[in-house]
Structure 1
Amino acid sequence: MDDPGPTLALFPLHTVLVPGAALGLRVFEPRYLDLLRDCGRSGATFGVCLILEGAEAGAPAMPAAYGTEALIEDFDRDPDGLLALRVRGARRFHVRRTRVRDNGLVVAGIDWLDDDPEEPLQPQHALLGELLQRILEQVGTDVAAIPKPRFDDAAWVGWRLAELLPLSDAQRQGVLQETDPHLRLQQLLEFVSEE
């Protein structure tokens, strides 16, 4: 019998989570409260995928075939009494198949994508490292606290730009699915040039 491989419960959203990015969630549906309870007990994680068809609440939505593992960083109750989470994107994955549990939770058989290699920015993308520094300064990040080599790391620059630039969900999903950090930067450069 074929090895089914790893499985991951999915939290489909109308947004794309990229590696290293933070995302705030408000959780109220029983299927997701159950999922988070399971994560708390077992230390498991869950996956965030862009919704291709459907809604965030109600009937199970159809998720994109690529997503990002979400690590829970913090949780609390918001003023409305709902569970408020802060998660951070970790590893990327490709969905091979999905099934829907009785409670409506979508569980996927996945393949983890390889981690990005550490490679320097190519000359044609050097401007993107400078653009990222300016954006981070504008949003109030202490750029001096970020190690200088980060701004020359093609993968890190690409993911931070994918997180911070005003991209459409479709554009951000395309960046997430690209496995080559230099081709990812090329996509981002084309998006920036169009504006």
Structure 2
Amino acid sequence: MAGGTGPARKRTRAHGRDETEEERADRLWAELLQELRVAQTGVQILFGFLLTVVFQQRFVELSTTDRNIYVVTVVLGAATTGALIGPVSFHRLLTGRRLKPQTVQWASRLTVLGLVLLLCTMAAALLLILRVATDDTWAVWLVAGIVVWFVVCWFVLPAWTLHSEATGPPPEK
């Protein structure tokens, strides 16, 4: 319906942009794809590395606890990969059905879930590596510190920015 007046054709000035709901969805989708490219590359490298660990000679020397941590880490890595590749599948299966805004919303949710799973994967991988490289006490504290750092960088700073923008001074008249 080119030139129609339905909800998708209605122009809005949300967030300082003059765009339709569909144009906004297209822009947000393009931005999300760029973000996913960065995250997927790191996850694929980490997951590929994790898959090779079991074939190393020293793997048989790991304690039962370390082997269990390894299994959890590999499962988390697989779940992370699924969540971060999920938006591509979501988009592909819904393309042409006029559901772009909903697709972007669900893809964004999958991406946030992927980031949470990536945080867990990184923590588990670090725990395994640091348990082998140091004593157990140091490993736990180092991993806890890194998890806090990731949470601050990935979630707290964006939330703080949103909060400060929402509660900032009123615009001048």
Same structural fold, with TM-score higher than 0.5 when normalized by the shorter chain:
no
Q: Where is the helix percentage greater, Structure 1 or Structure 2?
A: 2
Q: Which has the higher contact order (CA 8 A, sep 6+)?
A: 1
Q: Where is the strand percentage greater, Structure 1 or Structure 2?
A: 1
Query: Normalized against structure 2, the TM-score is what?
Result: 0.24
Larger Rg: 2
Query: Normalized against structure 1, the TM-score is what?
Result: 0.21
